[in-house]
Amino acid sequence: MDDILDVLVAHGVPGATIVRVAQLIADAKLTQDRRTKNAERMKAVRTHVPTSMHTETQGSSLPSSTINNLKVQEERSEIVALASEFAEFYAAYPHKVGKRAAATAFERARRRIPMAEIMAGLARYAAKTDDRPWCNPATWLNQDRCHDQPGPTQEANGKAKPKQQQASVLDFASGFDARTRMQLAERAEIERQRKRP
């Protein structure tokens, strides 16, 4: 660096320009030092075995390709287990629509909720006796409906319907088409209104 500055002085370059050149040379040297240190750090990171690996691979002399293969095998086994759990869930779900969206929602839900809780909630949901429409499986999972605790259903007047009466009407009407079931429900409502004082 001193040689360059001597040449500039000898050629009559103004002092301000010489100072600026000296600053540029110093900045370039600093940048080069940083790049060298970063390259050394990256090399150390690439050869370091992560602490999140299993204990049998920590500190061992396994080549990185073997460690990568172990990671891939772990990921594959997790994917296979998740696919198996989803198949179990989807088979038990009463309203089979939007399978791809349900699979994505199931994967996210499994990060938050254990499989046992999902299946217990699904059993409660599948046993519902009210006439509300079924949720799509993705909606049911995204809203964490497995935690729902359904209460007794309400009639229009606010009184709870007895579950036995509700189940018997549904059992009786299940053999008919939708229009006939609706007509039977209307007749049953008219009869209930007549019986009230």
Q: At 170, which amino acid appears?
A: L
The alpha-helical segments, DSSP class H, found in 98-136 are: 99-112, 115-126
Kindly report, residue by residue over 17-28, the tens digit of the pLDDT. Answer: 878 878 888 888
Put residue 30 in one of left, alpha, beta given phi > 0 → left and psi -120 to 50 → alpha.
alpha
The CA distance from 108 to 141, in Å, is 9
Contacts of 14 (CB under 8 A, 6+ apart): none
pLDDT on residue 193: 81
- Which two structure tokens, joined as six digits, stand for 56? 């049998």
Contacts of 180 (CB under 8 A, 6+ apart): 173
- The DSSP letter of residue 170 is H
- Which two structure tokens, joined as six digits, stand for 51? 């602490």
Question: Is 101 in contact with 133 (CB distance < 8 Å)?
Answer: no
Q: Name residues of the chain where pLDDT drops below 50.
A: 51-57, 164-165, 167
Contacts of 163 (CB under 8 A, 6+ apart): 129, 152
